[in-house]
Structure 1
Amino acid sequence: MEDFVKNDVTDQFDQENVLDKIVMEETGLLESDSDKTDDDTQGADESMESLMDMYEESFKRFEEGEVVTGKIISVDKDHVLVDIGYKSEGQIRIQEFKDEQGNIDVKVDDPVEVMVEFWDEEEEVVILSKEKAAKVKIWEEIKKAHDENGTVEGIILSRVKGGFSVDIGVAAFLPGSQADLRPIRNLDEMVGQTFTFKILKYNRKRSNIVLSRRAILEEERDAVRAATLESIHEGKVVNGIVKNITEYGVFVDLGGVDGLLHITDISWGRVKHPSELFSVGDEISVKVLGLDAEKERVSLGMKQLTEDPWASAMEKYAVDSHVTGKVVSLTDYGAFVELEEGIEGLIHVSEMSWTRKIRHPSKMVSVGEEVDAVVLDIKPENRRISLGMKQVVPNPWDVIGEKYPVGTIIEGKIKNITDFGLFIGIDEGIDGLVHISDISWTKRIKHPSEIYKKGDVVQAKVLDIEKESERFSLGIKQMEPDPWETVAERYEVGKEITGTVTNITDFGVFVELEEGIEGLVHVSEISKEKIKTPAGKFNVGDLITAKVMNINGDERRIGLSIKRLEAEDDQSLLSEYIDNMAPPTSSFGELLRENLQEKLREDDDDDAEK
């Protein structure tokens, strides 16, 4: 047994010597002693040492799971042979070199990183894996990136519950909250894109990796923010990107720092909503109005980049000057007109028309319409300009009196009817009023619509023109003489007349003598007997005969009496009786005759006084 072991060791030693000799011969290091010099001897020793290292390395056995670098030495249909510096080549399945289309992407002498999967002792074959080596390397990179706060690159494959699936060489998870600085509206837009990520945590055993893109963006933002805050100051003009638009202003990204451009600082003119002027992503120039570095608040202005137009408004818009502008807003009291960006004037409703009473400016102008006006007043310190639209044309009331002097007969259409009169169109925008009392001399009119309707053409006489109060008074009844001026000639006092009862009241009876002319029989003049009311004694439409007692043309009254007419009849009968009496035969008869005659004279005097 000892001899066997001794012989085996001797054989092994002899084999090694033989191998050494072969190696040296192959490399040309084995020379005759006579040919050697000192330098040659030293070089040969170094080469020998290197070759011995290589030789020993060939017998080194790699651990399973270890990753090494080898060189491809051959490729067949099933395997790829790789020289990893061991006495036996390693094998890799050909499938690991096929791409998605099934093409083999490998050639002899290519370097390749592989992992030793296991040793086949019986077959003396080493099984290798390129794919597993790649994964081992990836996990090493993941560990390094996590430990050293580094980054990895990956492509987002798909959306999954709560976030995304990312390929960084191995499958990883990107939570939705870590995908960006702000919530993403359309998550599908990120699928297929390549980004850089940080490793929040990982577990190799469970193949669990959690990524964050937001952490990288926050670091970049913080760095840019710090640089931006150091570079800006009040009064500096900077460029920024519109980041968000609200009803009260625009948020502008200045480079890691958001500044607010308030709606009042966008333009010297009127801005209804910032979205009218900006869109998200627009690049704009703004001026820094205020800066709070501690709170990282920046106030911005855009209108401050240009001169305030009110600074020169007094020279440009002098009082009485004619201007043209666009109506930008309507209120109950007037219209705002933009003369230029930043300068608006107000046309009050009272300054829109010389003749029309405007209840709302929309009756005269509309938003967007261009109008001509006259500057009535300007106060730059209050940023106010008062404008007048009616002043552009002459005031028709200045010439209406010359065109239609008092007494002129005009003809026009009835434009409106009210309970107090008729409005007749005269000139453009000027209406004349016929008061209800000036429609007829004699008729009692409760409402003008009893006689006229809108659109009727009528004639009237100009009675009065008041320019200050803009009143034009007309009369229809003045077109004919006043019948009351001659009523005394037609109805003398004491004359007996006949008329029709038109109205019965408690104080008397109204009797129409002619159209529009009425007389009153007072209740005390109806009968010798005292009566409380004439109701029941007369009816409307009855014909009545009475005596004219008095006439008052100024007050348009005629007093009538039935009682006096009856008394006259009685006196006439008495007088006739006296005249037909026989001559008195005694003093008593003479005295009776004288008393009757005296009574008749007193009655005549009473009638004359009334």
Structure 2
Amino acid sequence: MSENNSNDNNDLLNALNSIETVKVGDVVKAEVLAIDDDKQAIVGIEGTGIEGVVPQKELSTKPVSDINDVVKVGDTLDLVVISKIGSDKEGGSYLLSVRRLEARKVWDEIQKKYEAGETIEAPVTQVVKGGLVVDAGVRGFVPASMISDHFVEDLNQFKGQTLTFKIIEIEPSENRLILSHRALVEQEKAAKRDEIMSTLKAGETVTGKVARLTSFGAFVDLGGVDGLVHVSEIAYERVEKPSDVLKVGQEVKVKVLSVDPDRNRISLSIKQTLPEPWDGIEEKAPEGSVLEGTVKRLTSFGAFVEVFPGVEGLVHISQIAHEHIATPNDVLSTGETVKVKVLEVHPDAHRLALSIKALKEKPAGSEERHEQPKQQQRAPRKQAAPTQMSTDDDDEGFTLGDLVGDQLKNAQKKADSDNK
């Protein structure tokens, strides 16, 4: 063999050895050689002499409607080798992708954020069974239980929203990215709660919104932390169910009763921000006036009638009817609407003496019943303290004369008759 031929063979071998091999997963540079039927790009992989194909859907992470909008002949692309598609003497052809290379970069970025404990932002693109799909550069999934700190019935409200997420699980090889928005909601609420709990003081009045209603009260959102308004603190009048007088989302003024940071509890009152119902009672219910009220409670000694919200007066059993009745239940029922005449007003003691029979005509031939002296029947609370009785019924501070009524008077009359 001549020296020239030997040199030519060596040059050919060196050229062949210098050609890089291509493996699946490699990142390569390639020049766009042609656009094939407007559906794929034919590229030449630099340094290999091998051609490859890039389908239209693999040219971008975003949908491509026209391949000519994203590439043209002569462009140089960074690509990842997906698979081999055939075999020939030149080494075969390969399927390549821009989209998957970009996705790989995104996975690397997300992995770094996950390891650093950082969050990511992503728009919600789909609502699917069991949660939300988001576009974080790669597909991410948010389980329904990780969307909020409370149950959300309609997930469609989140579609199109860009939310911040905590990375819960990441596995690029399986294209699995699990995210949580709930974790951030809870963190944010915890921070706000700590801030509010440290600044909120008992006795001050603040504004909030009704967040939840229960059988025992209403939870009011004070801007990141909920406080409880017990059912007894909603109004001066008796409230059976909080939902009867309040609605979720309603703005209310509340007075702070107590703050317990250790137990994360705030006690609130709505009624203590309202006017005291007994204020101006002498003008609203002067002696001799006629009012309409509702029978709230029946006791053995009379009926308590609410004439204004939070203002109840006593109709003594002797003031219910002209004829004798054994118990108030004989002629009245709880919830009944009645007209009453105001006999006496005691603003300081929060007491009203009322009468139903004073508004009724005395039946013909009936004997007028004797009433107790005012001073015995309506002694102020402080003077009557030694003789007040405690019963299972709430006597509201009424005197012994209020409780026994005509029975005391009749017993006295009998004693006087026996002495004669």
Native 8 Å contact 1:337 1:347 kept in 2: yes
Q: 1:300 to 1:366 in 2, by over 3 A?
A: closer
Query: Is the aligned partner of 1:277 residue 2:242?
Result: no
**Which residue pairs with 2:234 in the alignment?**
266
Within the candidate set 54, 59, 67, 1:92 is matched to 54
1:486-516 C-alpha deviation (Å, 9 max, x unpaired): xxxxxxxxxxxxxxxxxxxxxxxxxxxxxxx
Query: Is the aligned partner of 1:107 residue 2:69?
Result: yes
Query: What is the DSSP-based 3-state SS (H/G/I as helix, E as strand, rest coil) of the residue aligned with 1:199?
Result: strand
Q: 1:258 to 1:165 in 2, by over 3 A?
A: closer
C-alpha distance in structure 2 between counterparts of 1:69 and 1:345, whole Å: 93
**Which residue pairs with 1:355 in the alignment?**
323
Within the candidate set 116, 127, 134, 2:81 is matched to 116
Within the candidate set 267, 271, 293, 1:299 is matched to 267
Native 8 Å contact 1:323 1:339 kept in 2: no
- Tell me the CA shift for residue 173 of structure 1: 5.2
Tell me which amino acid in the other structure corresponds to 1:75: I
C-alpha distance in structure 2 between counterparts of 1:362 and 1:72, whole Å: 101
Within the candidate set 246, 254, 259, 1:286 is matched to 254
Within the candidate set 102, 121, 133, 1:166 is matched to 133
**Which residue pairs with 1:385 in the alignment?**
352
Q: Larger relative CO (CA 8 A, sep 6+): 1 or 2? A: 2
Native 8 Å contact 1:323 1:373 kept in 2: yes
Tell me which amino acid in the other structure corresponds to 2:352: I
1:562-595 C-alpha deviation (Å, 9 max, x unpaired): xxxxxxxxxxxxxxxxxxxxxxxxxxxxxxxxxx
C-alpha distance in structure 2 between counterparts of 1:105 and 1:336, whole Å: 85
Residue correspondences, number: 354
Native 8 Å contact 1:314 1:380 kept in 2: no
1:458-500 C-alpha deviation (Å, 9 max, x unpaired): xxxxxxxx64579xxxxxxxxxxxxxxxxxxxxxxxxxxxxxx
C-alpha distance in structure 1 between counterparts of 2:174 and 2:104, whole Å: 14
1:174-224 C-alpha deviation (Å, 9 max, x unpaired): 44543321344x376578575543221233334444332221211221222
**Which residue pairs with 1:79 in the alignment?**
40
Further displaced range: 322-331 or 111-120:
111-120
Query: What is the DSSP-based 3-state SS (H/G/I as helix, E as strand, rest coil) of the residue aligned with 1:304?
Result: helix
C-alpha distance in structure 2 between counterparts of 1:313 and 1:227, whole Å: 42
- Tell me the CA shift for residue 291 of structure 1: 1.4
**Which residue pairs with 1:65 in the alignment?**
25
Query: What is the DSSP-based 3-state SS (H/G/I as helix, E as strand, rest coil) of the residue aligned with 1:357?
Result: coil
C-alpha distance in structure 1 between counterparts of 2:269 and 2:313, whole Å: 24
Native 8 Å contact 2:312 2:351 kept in 1: yes
Tell me which amino acid in the other structure corresponds to 2:35: V
Taking the TM superposition and a 5 Å limit, the aligned residue runs for 1:364-379 are: 367=335, 369=337, 371-378=339-346
Tell me which amino acid in the other structure corresponds to 1:115: V
C-alpha distance in structure 2 between counterparts of 1:317 and 1:376, whole Å: 9
C-alpha distance in structure 2 between counterparts of 1:145 and 1:100, whole Å: 23
- Tell me the CA shift for residue 271 of structure 1: 1.8
Within the candidate set 151, 171, 195, 2:120 is matched to 151
C-alpha distance in structure 1 between counterparts of 2:211 and 2:310, whole Å: 26
C-alpha distance in structure 1 between counterparts of 2:199 and 2:44, whole Å: 60
- Tell me the CA shift for residue 142 of structure 1: 3.1
Query: Is the aligned partner of 1:244 residue 2:244?
Result: no
Query: What is the DSSP-based 3-state SS (H/G/I as helix, E as strand, rest coil) of the residue aligned with 2:190?
Result: helix
Tell me which amino acid in the other structure corresponds to 1:326: G
- Tell me the CA shift for residue 260 of structure 1: 0.8
Pair member with larger Rg: 1
C-alpha distance in structure 1 between counterparts of 2:141 and 2:71, whole Å: 38
1:506-546 C-alpha deviation (Å, 9 max, x unpaired): xxxxxxxxxxxxxxxxxxxxxxxxxxxxxxxxxxxxxxxxx
C-alpha distance in structure 1 between counterparts of 2:313 and 2:191, whole Å: 49
**Which residue pairs with 1:142 in the alignment?**
110
Query: What is the DSSP-based 3-state SS (H/G/I as helix, E as strand, rest coil) of the residue aligned with 1:310?
Result: coil
- Tell me the CA shift for residue 263 of structure 1: 1.8
Native 8 Å contact 1:97 1:104 kept in 2: no
Within the candidate set 114, 123, 129, 2:97 is matched to 129
Further displaced range: 336-345 or 103-112:
103-112
Q: 1:267 to 1:143 in 2, by over 3 A?
A: same
C-alpha distance in structure 1 between counterparts of 2:29 and 2:229, whole Å: 61
Query: What is the DSSP-based 3-state SS (H/G/I as helix, E as strand, rest coil) of the residue aligned with 1:309?
Result: coil
Q: 1:182 to 1:108 in 2, by over 3 A?
A: closer
Q: 1:303 to 1:108 in 2, by over 3 A?
A: closer
Query: What is the DSSP-based 3-state SS (H/G/I as helix, E as strand, rest coil) of the residue aligned with 1:251?
Result: strand
C-alpha distance in structure 2 between counterparts of 1:304 and 1:71, whole Å: 78
**Which residue pairs with 1:570 in the alignment?**
none
Q: 1:101 to 1:62 in 2, by over 3 A?
A: closer
**Which residue pairs with 2:293 in the alignment?**
326
Query: Is the aligned partner of 1:233 residue 2:201?
Result: yes
Query: What is the DSSP-based 3-state SS (H/G/I as helix, E as strand, rest coil) of the residue aligned with 2:69?
Result: coil
**Which residue pairs with 2:408 in the alignment?**
none
- Tell me the CA shift for residue 345 of structure 1: 1.5
1:366-411 C-alpha deviation (Å, 9 max, x unpaired): 7363524223352533x332211222457x3xxxxxxxxxxxxxxx
C-alpha distance in structure 2 between counterparts of 1:281 and 1:338, whole Å: 30
Q: 1:308 to 1:183 in 2, by over 3 A?
A: same
Tell me how large the CA RMSD over aligned residues is: 4.4
- Tell me the CA shift for residue 276 of structure 1: 0.8
Q: 1:254 to 1:67 in 2, by over 3 A?
A: farther
- TM-score w.r.t. length of structure 1: 0.48
Q: 1:331 to 1:204 in 2, by over 3 A?
A: same
Query: What is the DSSP-based 3-state SS (H/G/I as helix, E as strand, rest coil) of the residue aligned with 1:132?
Result: helix
Q: 1:342 to 1:295 in 2, by over 3 A?
A: same
- Tell me the CA shift for residue 92 of structure 1: 0.7
Q: 1:9 to 1:292 in 2, by over 3 A?
A: same
- Tell me the CA shift for residue 122 of structure 1: 1.1
Gaps of 5+ in 1: 12-58, 397-428, 433-465, 471-610
- TM-score w.r.t. length of structure 2: 0.67
Within the candidate set 164, 179, 186, 1:211 is matched to 179
Native 8 Å contact 2:212 2:219 kept in 1: yes
C-alpha distance in structure 2 between counterparts of 1:368 and 1:81, whole Å: 90
Query: What is the DSSP-based 3-state SS (H/G/I as helix, E as strand, rest coil) of the residue aligned with 1:75?
Result: strand
